[in-house]
Amino acid sequence: MQAGTLYRNVVWYLKAKKEFTKDGYAAASKNFNPNDLEKVDIKNKSFMITGSNSGIGKAAAVEIAKKGGKVHMVCRSEERGRAAQQDVITESGSKEVIFHQLDMSLPRSIQRFAQTFLESGEKLDVLINNAGCMVNQRELTEDGLEKNFATNVLGTHVLTTSLMPLLQQSQQPRVITVSSGGMYVEGLDPDDLQMEKRAPFFDGTQSYAKNKRQQVVMTENYAKLYTSVHFSCMHPGWADTPAVQTSMPDFYKEHRWSLRTPQQGADTIVWLAISDAALQNKSGLFYQDRKAVSTHLPLAWTKYTPQVETKFMQKLSDFYDQFKNLPPSQISHQLKEFTLSCLHDQLGAVPGMMGN
Ligand SMILES: NC(=O)c1ccc[n+]([C@@H]2O[C@H](COP(=O)([O-])OP(=O)(O)OC[C@H]3O[C@@H](n4cnc5c(N)ncnc54)[C@H](OP(=O)(O)O)[C@@H]3O)[C@@H](O)[C@H]2O)c1
């Protein structure tokens, strides 16, 4: 490990042990203003939460439903999603809880889902991009996309962008994306979104951390692009959820006693989604425990130029177009073009291939 990377990881770990744990939450929550969440009326507001069948997303769904907001639960599994919908109804006492099935790693399905939602006449005030995964083997989706990138980044981008026309009709639209403090150890590399550079070595933790950095960059850029919408992203701290238990078993074994509850992890999501206080801050910031915080550790060498950001956003936009729901004839034409351009990228570097 290089000295710079070692330094960055040590600084990060010391910060995490102090702030991301349940003790960190207890310390930070002493400064919370209880009025921020108590004196809000969200009875006529509509919220969509992805990945809300478990963990932090489900805890946020319960809190928002308890306060009277209509909740659209967007979940990958019909079985787990419907069971969670019943739990949210029971725990909140609200019947305004709707289940939608959607796999966030499939950009075409997401566009179709968004289009149907737009045409349904439902309103939408707040989108909470919470669904996330850390897949530890390099796995490809049916579209040939690396699974973590497809779910955490492209899925978030496609859903946010596709729902924008509806969100923009709301009086106070908000988009909250659940990132992670893990992003502090990564910069931005738009030339390796699918983690191919180090193939065949693949590190799921690194892929996840890069995705979470990308979500921060997306949030900052959306804020500049869609000025009528209030964007934020956040770190929930380390919370005891199925994702942590299954994707990071060693971490879980070592830290389980210091983890936050899912409710504590969801606190800042709910605060960003419903409080007036959150709207006092400018759009596009990164939050931890109801406070906007820096997106880089000191001297961590994770910063990037505006040109690199633009390149990244352009690539997302290209992917969006790539997976537009077109008639089958055009899709196959597009796929052919895409495959050819990928082949060109991969083989172009090899002397004698693709015209070199
Ligand atoms: N817990 C922590 O300490 C922590 C720390 C930092 C950031 N986060 C972030 O918090 C968010 C919520 O995670 P969690 O900790 O609450 O874990 P969780 O309980 O496992 O929740 C993750 C949710 O995302 C859903 N999901 C994953 N892939 C999906 C896909 N392709 N399509 C639709 N939904 C999908 C999962 O659905 P299934 O049930 O079908 O898998 C589940 O509902 C994630 O974005 C995570 O990165 C968590």
Q: What does the chain come to in residues?
A: 356
Q: How far is the CA of 75 from the centre of ligand 1 (A)?
A: 10
User: Residue 326 has what pLDDT?
Assistant: 54
Q: What is the pLDDT of residues 178-208, one digit of tens each?
A: 999 999 999 999 999 999 988 889 999 999 9
Tokens of 146: 């690396």
- Contact between 319 and 107 under an 8 Å Cβ cutoff? The reply is yes
Q: What is the chain's mean pLDDT, rounded?
A: 91
Decide if pLDDT at 158 tops 50: yes
Identify the weakest region by mean pLDDT among 126-135, 180-189, 246-255, 342-351.
Answer: 342-351
Number of CB atoms found within 10 A of residue 197's CB: 9
More confident residue, 251 or 340: 251
Q: Which of 20, 72, 73, 76 to mutate to test the pocket of ligand 1 (most atoms within 8 A of CB)?
A: 76
CATH of 3-325, one of 3.40.50.1000, 2.70.70.10, 3.30.420.40, 3.40.50.720: 3.40.50.720
Q: Is the pLDDT of residue 176 over 50?
A: yes
- Is the separation of the CB atoms in 288 and 265 below 8 Å? no
Position in ligand 1 atom list of the atom nearest CA 262:
16
User: How many other CB atoms sit within 10 Å of the CB of residue 250?
Assistant: 7
Q: Distance from the CA of 131 to the center of ligand 1, in angstroms?
A: 5
Q: How confident is the model at residue 7 (pLDDT cuts 50, 70, 90)?
A: confident
Cα gap 303→297, rounded to integer Å: 10
Higher pLDDT, 341 or 195: 195
pLDDT at 1: 61
Mean pLDDT score, 262-270? 98
Tell which residue, 195, 254, 217, 225, has the closest CA to residue 16: 254
Residue 321 CA: distances (Å) to CA of 5, 51, 180: 36, 24, 27
DSSP tally for the chain: helices H, then strands E: 15, 8
Selection from 187, 185, 132, 172 nearest residue 155 by Cα: 132
- State residue 348's pLDDT score: 40
Check pLDDT > 60 for residue 252. yes
* Ligand 1 shell residues, CB under 6 Å: 51, 53-57, 75-77, 80, 103-105, 130-133, 151, 178, 180, 235-236, 238-239, 241-244, 265
The model's pTM:
0.92
Taking residues 150-163, report their average pLDDT. 98
pLDDT tier for residue 300 given thresholds of 50, 70 and 90: confident
DSSP line for 268-311 = HHHHHHH-HHHHHSPTTEEEETTEEE-SS-TT------HHHHHH
Q: Which atom of ligand 1 is nearest to the CA of 53?
A: 43
Task: Please tell me the distance from the alpha carbon of residue 217 to that of residue 136, in angstroms, as a whole number.
Answer: 23
The pLDDT assigned to 6 comes to 85
Are 128 and 178 a contacting pair, CB within 8 Å? yes
| CA-nearest residue, atom 42 of ligand 1 | 51
Q: Can you tell me the mean pLDDT for 227-256? A: 97
Residues 6+ apart with CB under 8 A from 198: none
Confidence of residue 341 (pLDDT cuts 50, 70, 90): very low
**Could you tell me which residues come within 8 angstroms of residue 3 by beta carbon, excluding any fewer than 6 positions away?**
none
CA of 2 relative to ligand 1 center, distance in Å? 31
The Cβ-side half-sphere exposure at 107, using a 13 Å CA radius, reads: 26
Q: How close is the Cα of 132 to the center of ligand 1, in Å? A: 4
> How is the chain split into domains, by residue range?
3-325, 329-356
Centroid of ligand 1 to alpha carbon of 262 (angstroms): 11
Query: SS3 for 7-20, per residue?
Result: HHHHHHHHHHHHHC
Whether 208 is a known active-site residue: answer: yes
CA 158 to each of CA 60, 150, 163, 323: distance values in angstroms, whole numbers, following the listed order: 22, 10, 8, 9
pLDDT value at residue 24: 98
Task: Categorize the per-residue pLDDT at 132 as very low, low, confident or very high, splitting at 50, 70 and 90.
Answer: very high
For residue range 17-73, what is the model confidence (pLDDT) as tens digits? 999 999 999 999 999 999 999 989 999 999 999 999 999 999 999 999 999 999 999
